[in-house]
Amino acid sequence: MAAEDDVKQRVEALRANYEAEVGRPFEHFYCPILHVDEGTELLKGHVINEKLGYNVWVPQRKDIDSFYGTAAEADFIAAVQDHSKTALQKWLDPKMNRQHRPQLMLKGEEVQHYFTEKPASVPVGHTSLKMVGPAGETLCNFAIKKSPEELKSLQVETCQIVVNQDYRPAVIASVLKAAHLTMFHLLKYRHVFSPAGLYLASILREYFLKYGRDRKKKNKAALAAHFRPYASMISPMILKNKEALRGTAIDNRLMLCIGATEGIFASGAVVPAGGEDAFCVFLPQGEGKTIDTYLGFLREPPPSFLARFVHFCPADGENEARWLTPNTEPVRIDLPDRLPQTVPEA
């Protein structure tokens, strides 16, 4: 009940903010993604998935939250949490095995296999094998769905364990959603009706309207086709100095990207992903030549760019909401490779 009360309280605050922006209050809740005001179940929508250790939330429709949780965020969490694990670790751990589906390869071909606790009782036509660790310990017993004679004829001395999952579409979808909710958390409906807010909402809304009715099924091909074109909006980051930068939803800080002639052409919302991992989502600012600079930046990312860090201060009893810009020179930010294609991991 307390959670429902918290959501209702936030919705009322957002109702007043919406009225200040458009001149009238919404009736139920104006969704920042669907851009509709209709009665539906709401919940605490975590800006960044709570399984990554964050508790910043905004009111959100349950149907959207559940859909993206299944369609993208489960894979996003697995990609983030398990990226340092080896293919062998993912194969041996039951939970990671179910998530990442490692393949056992013999001479470049996948071979069907299964783990067994009773090596002596595998069916005729299958071969029981044991994996031994560096100290001679048994790591697991498994069976290959080929007879000993078949294996012998292949003259196989070693096998490979390969993880061949492309989590990039799930990362793109999850990070764009997190960036949109991050800015909604900061700026409320001022962001929703801004060029950046309209753009992010259109990306997320289009996919939900096409596939949101089938919330129990993952359509990885559709997810990839829809979100891959937006990969250039996102760059991985390393948050080595947590005092200076923790993530926009946590510390209310944005990067302003400065062009050589047009000035500020993009803002960078930082989405933390646990530990030192984070992503920067580049959002458009302004119009005209500024948009041309932004689109050129996405098409041909430079090795680095100039940026200022600005801090958003919400309204309080004495002051209106405002941005604080430090009186310092812009800093040059190196730009890592943008979300490289996942390759097989041996």
- Claim: this prediction has a pTM higher than 0.85: yes
CB 159 within 8 A of CB 130: no
Are residues 102 and 82 in contact, defined by beta-carbon separation less than 8 angstroms? no
Q: Which two tokens stand for residue 170?
A: 């799930």
* Closest by Cα among 292, 297, 300 to 281: 297
- pLDDT band for position 316 (cuts 50, 70, 90): confident
Q: Answer yes or no: do 32 and 131 share one domain.
A: no
Q: Does residue 143 sit in the same domain as residue 286?
A: no
Q: What is the pLDDT of residue 52?
A: 87
Q: How far is CA 346 from the centre of its chain?
A: 24
Q: Is the domain of 146 the same as that of 271?
A: no
Assess whether 68 and 194 both reside in one domain.
yes
What is the mean pLDDT of the segment spanning 253-273?
87
Q: How far apart are CA 182 and CA 55, in angstroms?
A: 12
Q: Reading across the β-sheet that carries 138-144, which strands appear in turn?
A: 113-115, 138-144, 127-132
Domain identity same for 213 and 265? yes
Distance CA 164, CA 170 (A): 15
162, 185, 209 — which closes off a domain?
A: 162
Which range in 152-156, 231-235, 328-332, 339-343 is most confidently predicted, on average pLDDT? 231-235
* pLDDT at position 34 over 90: yes
Q: Are 223 and 166 in contact (CB under 8 A)?
A: no
C-alpha–C-alpha distance, residues 40 and 179, integer Å: 23
**Residues 218 and 317 placed together within one structural domain of the fold:** yes
**Backbone dihedral angles phi then psi of residue 300, each to the nearest 5 degrees:** -130, 80
Residue 343, pLDDT above cutoff 60: no
- The model's pLDDT over 127-150, given as tens digits with 9 standing for 90+, comes to 999 988 889 899 999 999 999 888
107 and 230 assigned to the same domain? no
Residue 241 main-chain phi, psi, to 5 deg: -105, 90
301 within some domain = yes
Residue 310's identity, in one-letter code, is V
Same domain, 15 and 115: no
Residue 338 has pLDDT above 80, yes or no: no
What mean pLDDT, rounded, does the chain reach? Answer: 87
Distance CA 60, CA 82 (A): 28
Query: Nearest-5° angle of CA 208, CA 228, CA 294?
Result: 100
At position 61, the amino acid (one-letter code) is: R
What is the DSSP secondary structure assignment for residue 37, as one 8-state letter?
B
pLDDT band at 287 (very low <50, low <70, confident <90, very high): low
pLDDT tens string 66-111: 999 999 999 999 988 888 889 999 999 999 998 899 999 988 889 9
pLDDT surpasses 80 at 270: yes
Residues 192-245: pLDDT tens digits? 999 999 999 999 999 999 998 765 567 889 999 999 999 999 988 766 555 567
Tell me if 323 sits within 8 A of 236, measured CB to CB: no
Domain that holds residue 197: 2-80+167-334
175 and 156 within one domain: no
Q: What is the number of domains present in the chain?
A: 2
The last residue of a domain, from among 132, 147, 162: 162
Of 141, 162, 183, the domain-final residue: 162
What backbone phi and psi angles, to 5 degrees, belong to 244? -85, -35
DSSP bridge partners of 141: 130
Q: Are residues 285 and 141 in the same domain?
A: no
| Tokens encoding 242 | 């947590």
What H or E segment, with its residue span, contains residue 151?
A: helix 148-154
